[in-house]
Each structure stands twice: as C-alpha cells, then as structure tokens.
Structure 1
Amino acid sequence: MNFSACSDQQIFESVCQGEERALRHLMHRFWQPLFKTASVTMQDPEVCQELVQNVFINIWRNREKINLKYSIKTYLFGCIRYEVFRNVKKKMDYVELKDLDENYVDSFNPLLKLEYSELLDYLDQMINQLPDKCKEIFYLSRMEQLSHKEIAEKLNISVKTVENQISIALKRLKQGMQNMHIFFQIFFF
C-alpha cells in the first residue's frame, strides 16, 4: 500500500492491523511536529527524541487496544504531552523538594517556572496532609536522606514500619500527583 496518498486515519488503521510500514510512515509524518512540541518544554534534544520514540513504541505495543475518540493527530499530541509530563515528574523525584538547585529549574522552559513552583506548593500541601508519623518518616527519608534503618533507629521503630509508612506516603502523593497531572493537561497544554 502506498501510504503517501493515505489519510492519517487510514495509516493509523493499518498500524492497528499490525502493519509495520504504516507505523514507519506515521512516524515519518509526525516525528518533527511531536519533537518540536516536546522541545518547547524539554531543552535536551536527546530527551525529546526519546520521548517521541516512546510515543510510537507505546502505540505499537497497544495498537489493538487503542480506541480513538478524536483524530490521530490529537491523540499523538496528547501522548507527547503526557510523555513530557512523566519525564518532568520523574526528574522531580530526584530533586530535593526544598533545596532546589536553581540550575535545575532554569533548565526548564521559562514558562514552566511558575507552574513548577505551583507544583511544589501543591506537593508541600499533600505532604502536610499526611498523618504525623507518616509525614515525619517521609521527611527523614526524602529530605534528610536517611536510610530506612537509620530512621528506624532514630524513631525506635521497626524497619518494616518505616517501609510501610513511606509506601503509604508515596501512594498518597502519587494519587495527588495524578490529580495534578489532570490539572496540568487542562490548563497548561
């Protein structure tokens, strides 16, 4: 089949039927616009390339399950926004919440600085809503970088209790971040 003359929808339908050539053509057609969209937020071209690759890998893996409600173009741009958000969130997991390196924040697009600040405020609110013991253990783990064993010794509790409390904290924060993800998609993309 000559995909050059096909609509985006026809190409996508061929992808869903398992035709690899259709996927390559879809990638060729949308690679540059998706890359540009990712590069608005992410300054590193290699990261942008990886994010675009992830979009197409996920489409291929889930091709039989995807049920488009909108155009393939809308779907692809939604996917790249999601990949960018996941990448920013993943980077945040490695940054201390209070003592941020200004260079890290400056590595984002300047338009995201305010959003990033709001995200940190939201995260602080969620941490403050944790039960007292859970909040204390989470703080010792993430802010003071203590090991589970050190926390257990300091608070005179078992390592298992520390692990459970950190698990509870992370689960609640993750749920809160998913709500924030919806907020980001609606208001910032």
Structure 2
Amino acid sequence: MGAIYQKYGLTDESSFERFFKSNYHLALLVALRYVKSEQIADDIVQEVFVALWQKRDELTIRTSLKSYLLNMVRNRSLNYLRDEKQMDEITESAVPAELIDDPNDDFSQEELAVHITKAIDELPAQCKKVFQLAYHERLTYNEIASTLNLSKNTIKTQMGIAYKMIRFKLSAYFLNLFSFSFRRRKK
C-alpha cells in the first residue's frame, strides 16, 4: 500500500470503498459540470476511482486526496470532450477560466450542492415531499396542498420547518468553511 494512501487512512479496500461512497456524488457533480450526460459522467467518475486504486503505489499527491480526485475528474471530463471533438460546446459560462487555471480549486459549489442535497434528504418524510414539490416541481403552495390533499397552512408550516432545518444543517457547513478559511489565512 502506498504511503500516500496510508496518510489518508486508506489502508485497505473497505476504507477506499468508504472514500468512494463519501466522494462519489461530489465527483459526479464535477463531471456533470463539463459533460452533460449523466451516464458519461458516471463512467468518468468510475474510471477515476479505478485509476486511483490501481495506481495507489505510484501516486504523489501534494494536495488533499479529495482535491486530487476532483482534479482528476475535471481533467478526464475535459479530455473526453476534446477526444469527442466537443470542445466547441464548452462555453465560458460552463468552464470558467479560474477552474481550468487554478490547481487548488476546492470545488466548493459542488460540495455545497452535496450538503444541500444531504440536508434535504434528512428532512422528515412529509416535509421533504412538500419541499421537493415546491423546489423541484416548482409547484405553488396551493398546488402542493391540492396534490397532497392538505391545507395551504399545513404546506406553509412544512416549508417553514424545511427552511429552518436546512438553514441549521448548512450553518454548520458554513461555520466549518469559515473557520477553515480563517485558519488558512492566519498561517
């Protein structure tokens, strides 16, 4: 086992599998930023994880393993587009220059999306259903009330609970992000 993997606590297949499970969704979001097909993005992410495992004894990682993984996903996605001669489909809005040029990009937008998704998934069942109808289906409170056979006041209450719980879950993320940023600057 490579020393780099021991540094990150990935000493066996089960620990690598935990790393895979905790970072797969974020890696998929990074790939989807470039390639618009979920199947192709999934293939790219799978290839990257396989390559990380197969080359574990040869790698030299100067950043965190997570950043290295996400940079690999970004590079493989761009390579896919180049190989498929689809680079002309990439616009500046799809791939901001700072993402290509900055090797220390921490992919905070995708990570935030993962935290938001997790916060929504952790909502109570009824609250989650109401929230998803409002934001994913773009239904009004009246339409949600009609769909779920509930009163409009119940929908308002459920949305209030959802907002409060999501804000609470995300406040911990932003607090950690803020304290991490502050510690980095202080050094």
TM-score by length of 2: 0.45
